């Protein structure tokens, strides 16, 4: 394969799977908080003056749920977008474009609301439940998204006519917000009283089921720690677990964290104040770490030795959720570990294969029980590069190494400042194991976003360092979301979006066919190359298909439509023209860190074939044995050669922008195809998309009768000729 084509295909066919989406609370079902595909943000450039608040996504209520990020959503009637999903306590769900915010007037791509005040359907006022922790109860738990089906799952609470309180599980189409068939379903398992319960924990998608965890309101009245499992396809209730069936309490509130799941589908939760008698063969599991089967049968548990004291002093073990550590942190004796901590401030490391049961006198059944401080933790810890990060309230954030199933007795690093009441839930951004940053949102000064170098917890950014970067208001227990060079923070009024600032304006000097470098050979679906200055802050490429709409906070639009990206650098971008761009005059724009280039006028043709070549002009072609055609390996007369180009024109079957063509059946080009080798017409056996590739076309042609030699090959699509490339031919069959 030739050098120029290899450069492009490296972006398309890499076996690495890029993590570009944030589909669940704290990024994964283990709840590690890691976003490891961040190639732009680094400790060297996250600082005041280079990084700050870019725009604000105004919503109709408080955003307690972590914002979720979905790339390449084909929004109904609006084309492909990278989308931020925002759920509010006012019972609304928004889909915002992740890149085009401006000020605080950004319009959503779509919005749905689950209230109807004119017909008596509202959110639930805090006064109705007697607990003012959340002033308005609507959607509090973080939704979860199934990328394969494009479905958002969430639970909304409403107050309806006759003072009827209702929870419903909704399944929404991510492209439009429309309810999926069978959605919503009312949540009312036997014995469940909606008014006395709250759905604060994040939802979990595992085993084809949607798991939800439940709590009471400020420990008031009669309530239980419920876990429900609904079928993700039908939304039918599949399983129920009650933490205190013969008692009271045992909330799963966890500071907004949700149940965790391991690779085998086991579910892990941490309960709060409540009755406990599992040590005497009872069925009540307050103040416990609990392991459940896929169908919610309890299979193991851990209860601290001082459970009674925790209950008496309101020191909920379940103020935080469970963090499942990767296997490399374990040992032969304890291969799979779980970390948690609670209001007491004690840190627990447990063996997931043997949690330890009810402890007496000490926590000897735990791998570690570290009574390090009396500062409570809420939400979730995070894990990165061998350390667990916790941000207790009114304390420094701390990093504790875990290796060989040993939790260090002292932190290896701590921040120079403290988080206020309720502490914070750390989130991690990094490029693999490099450039790690720990992000937290805490309550001080009406809320602020801070960032720390993950290596030593040196503070590198504080949103309150300059007025323009301040959060609008703090929403309790929020976890920041990092995706593609930006940080999304839920607040009491919407989502603040942070990223690189002060970027130089990109300048586009030329746009060419990516194969021929001709400026007049651009067509819908073809690969193109942009040349200019300040086109990107880094050099990077797409890591998988479908191709991303942005890389490192850089995007390209053609006639306002997002162009999938293959490669970018300060001087060059390779992209694909969206199929929906109409032939004729149009404009192309590059957005770098929110700053738009001046538009460049270009002309798009119905077809514009360009043959890929190497630096010597040799065609990107494969002989019939799939070996590369070259002067040393010519194709036999009468044999079939596969020639690779771009710009084939309309297709018989539509293909999404940036998506690879299917391996089979093949997709044919609709325009008449022809080719000549050395001026002699060649028989065309196929012209269409190259299977498995995005934006790449393939023509299979039969080498015409010619003497041995090197000949110019030219293809035509709909009568439009390509550049001439060199094809090596030998005589004989």
Percent of the chain scored above 70 by pLDDT?
A: 97
Distance CA 363, CA 643 (A): 69
| pLDDT at 11 (0 to 100) | 45
Neighbours of 128 (CB within 10 A): 14
What band does 102 get if pLDDT is binned at 50, 70 and 90?
A: low
| pLDDT tens track for 440-458 | 999 998 899 999 999 999 9
How many other β-carbons are positioned within 10 Å of the β-carbon of residue 84? 26
DSSP string, 43-59: TTT-SBTTEEEEEEEE-
Place of tokens 């955003």: 63
d(CA 617, CA 438): 49
Q: What is the mean pLDDT of the chain?
A: 95
pLDDT at 517 over 50: yes
Residue 7, pLDDT > 60, answer no
| Cα separation values, 88 from 131, 142, 365, 383, 530, Å | 18, 10, 41, 28, 40
pLDDT band per the 50, 70, 90 thresholds, residue 218: very high
Straight-line distance from the first to the last Cα atom of the chain, in angstroms, rounded to the nearest whole number: 22
* Sign of the Cα pseudo-torsion (433, 435, 439, 444, in order): positive
- What is the per-residue pLDDT across 631-672, written as a single tens digit (0 to 9) for each? 999 999 999 999 999 999 999 999 999 999 999 899 999 999
Residue 404 in this model has a pLDDT that exceeds 90:
yes
Q: Which residue has the tokens 């994040």?
A: 202
Calculate mean pLDDT across residues 328-354. 97
Q: How many CB atoms lie within 10 A of CB 691?
A: 15
Cβ atoms of 340 and 321 within 8 Å: the answer is yes
pLDDT, tens digit (0-9, with 9 covering 90-100), for 672-718: 999 999 999 999 999 999 999 999 999 999 999 999 999 999 999 99
Closest listed residue to residue 265, CA positions, set 29, 69, 525: 29
Q: Is the pTM of this model over 0.75?
A: yes
For 60, the token pair is: 């109709």
Q: Supply the pLDDT for residue 373.
A: 86
CB 313 within 8 A of CB 276: no
The pLDDT of 136-163, averaged and rounded, is 97
List, in sequence order, every beta strand (DSSP E) within 43-123. 51-58, 68-75, 79-87, 92-97, 110-113
What integer pLDDT is reported at residue 16 of this predicted model? 39
| pLDDT value at residue 3 | 45
Are 3-13+503-604 and 610-730 the same fold in CATH? yes
> What pLDDT shows up at residue 503?
85
**pLDDT tens-digit map of 558-594:** 999 999 999 999 999 999 999 999 999 999 999 999 9
Q: What is the pLDDT of residues 12-31, one digit of tens each?
A: 444 334 448 999 999 999 99
Stated as kind and residue range, the H or E segment containing 229 is strand 226-231
In the prediction, which pLDDT does 14 show?
Answer: 41
pLDDT, position 306: 97
User: 3-class DSSP state for residue 42?
Assistant: coil
- pLDDT over 50 at 328, yes or no: yes
User: 3-13+503-604: what CATH class?
Assistant: mainly beta
How far apart CA 544 and CA 429 sit, in angstroms, is 20
Q: Going edge to edge, which strands form the sheet with 434-442?
A: 34-35, 427-431, 434-442, 448-453, 459-462
Where residue 278 falls among pLDDT bands split at 50, 70, 90?
very high
Q: Three-state DSSP class for 319? A: helix
The residue extents of the domains of the chain are 3-13+503-604, 610-730
Domain over 610-730 is classified CATH 3.40.50.2020: no
Q: What's the burial of 557, exposed, middle or buried (CB within 10 Å: 0-12/13-18/19+)?
A: buried
Average pLDDT (400-415) is 98
Residue 44 has pLDDT above 50, yes or no: yes
303: left (phi over 0), alpha (psi -120 to 50) or beta: beta
DSSP string, 607-631: ---EE-B-TT-BB-EE-TTSPBPBT
Distance CA 154, CA 177 (A): 12
């Amino acid at each position: 394969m030739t050098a120029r084509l290899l450069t492009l295909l490296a972006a398309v066919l890499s076996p690495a799977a890029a993590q570009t989406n944030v589909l669940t609370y704290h990024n994964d079902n283990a709840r590690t908080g890691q976003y490891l595909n961040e190639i732009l943000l680094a400790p060297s450039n996250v600082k005041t003056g280079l990084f700050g608040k870019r725009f604000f996504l105004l919503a109709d209520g408080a955003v307690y749920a972590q914002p979720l990020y979905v790339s390449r959503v084909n929004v109904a009637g609006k084309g492909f977008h990278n989308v931020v999903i925002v759920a509010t306590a006012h019972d609304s769900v928004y889909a915002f474009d992740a890149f085009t915010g401006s000020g605080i007037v950004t319009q959503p791509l779509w919005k749905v609301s689950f209230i109807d005040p004119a017909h008596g359907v509202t959110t639930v006022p805090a006064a109705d439940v007697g607990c003012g922790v959340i002033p308005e109860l609507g959607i509090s738990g973080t939704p979860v998204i199934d990328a394969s089906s494009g479905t958002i799952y969430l639970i909304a609470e409403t107050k309806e006519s006759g003072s009827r309180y209702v929870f419903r599980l909704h399944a929404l189409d991510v492209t439009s917000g429309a309810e999926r068939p069978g959605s919503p379903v009312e949540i009312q398992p036997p014995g469940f009283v909606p008014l006395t319960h709250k759905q604060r924990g994040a939802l979990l998608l595992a085993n084809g089921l949607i798991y939800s965890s439940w709590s009471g309101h400020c420990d008031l009245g009669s309530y239980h720690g419920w876990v429900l499992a609904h079928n993700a396809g039908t939304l039918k209730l599949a399983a129920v677990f009650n933490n205190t069936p013969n008692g009271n309490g045992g909330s799963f509130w966890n500071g907004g964290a949700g149940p965790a799941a391991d690779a085998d589908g086991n579910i892990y939760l941490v309960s709060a104040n409540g009755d406990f008698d599992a040590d005497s063969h009872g069925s009540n599991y307050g103040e416990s770490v609990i392991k459940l089967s896929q169908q919610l049968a309890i299979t193991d548990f851990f209860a601290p030795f001082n459970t009674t004291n925790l209950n008496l002093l309101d020191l909920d073990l379940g103020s935080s959720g469970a963090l499942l550590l990767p296997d490399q942190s374990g040992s032969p004796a304890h291969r799979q570990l779980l970390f948690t901590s609670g209001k007491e401030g004690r840190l627990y490391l447990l063996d997931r294969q043997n949690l330890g049961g009810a402890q007496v006198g000490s926590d000897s059944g735990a791998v570690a029980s570290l009574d390090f401080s009396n500062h409570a933790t809420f939400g979730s810890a995070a894990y990165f590069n061998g350390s667990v990060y916790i941000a207790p309230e009114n304390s420094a954030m701390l990093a504790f190494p875990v290796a060989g199933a040993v939790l260090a007795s002292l932190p290896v690093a701590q921040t120079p400042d403290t988080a206020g009441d309720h502490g914070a839930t750390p989130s991690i951004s990094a490029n693999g194991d490099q450039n790690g940053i720990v992000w937290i949102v805490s309550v001080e000064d009406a809320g602020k976003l801070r960032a720390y170098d993950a290596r030593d917890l040196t503070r590198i950014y504080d949103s309150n360092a300059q007025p323009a970067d301040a959060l609008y208001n703090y929403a309790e227990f929020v976890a920041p979301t990092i995706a593609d060079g930006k940080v999304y923070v839920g607040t009491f009024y919407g989502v603040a979006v942070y990223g690189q600032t002060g970027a130089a304006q990109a300048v586009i000097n030329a746009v060419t066919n990516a194969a021929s470098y001709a400026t007049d050979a651009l067509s819908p679906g073809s690969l193109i190359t942009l040349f200019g200055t300040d086109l990107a802050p880094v050099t990077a490429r797409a890591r998988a298909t479908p191709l991303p709409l942005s890389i490192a906070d850089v995007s390209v639009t053609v006639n306002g439509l997002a162009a999938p990206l293959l490669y970018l650098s300060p001087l060059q971008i390779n992209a694909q023209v969206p199929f929906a761009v109409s032939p004729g005059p149009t404009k192309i724009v590059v957005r770098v860190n929110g700053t738009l280039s001046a538009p460049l006028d270009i002309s798009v043709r119905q077809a514009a074939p360009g043959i890929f070549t190497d630096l010597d002009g040799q065609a990107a072609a494969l002989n019939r044995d799939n070996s590369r055609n070259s002067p040393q390996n010519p194709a036999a007369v009468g044999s079939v050669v596969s020639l690779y180009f771009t710009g084939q024109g309309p297709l018989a079957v539509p293909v999404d922008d940036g998506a690879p063509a299917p391996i089979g059946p093949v997709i044919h080009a609709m325009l008449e195809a022809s080719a000549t080798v050395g001026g002699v017409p060649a028989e065309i056996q196929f012209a269409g998309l190259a299977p498995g590739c995005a934006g790449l076309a393939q023509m299979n042609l039969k080498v015409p009768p010619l003497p041995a030699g090197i000949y110019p090959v030219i293809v035509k699509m709909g009568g439009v000729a390509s550049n001439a490339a060199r094809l090596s031919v030998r005589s004989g069959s």
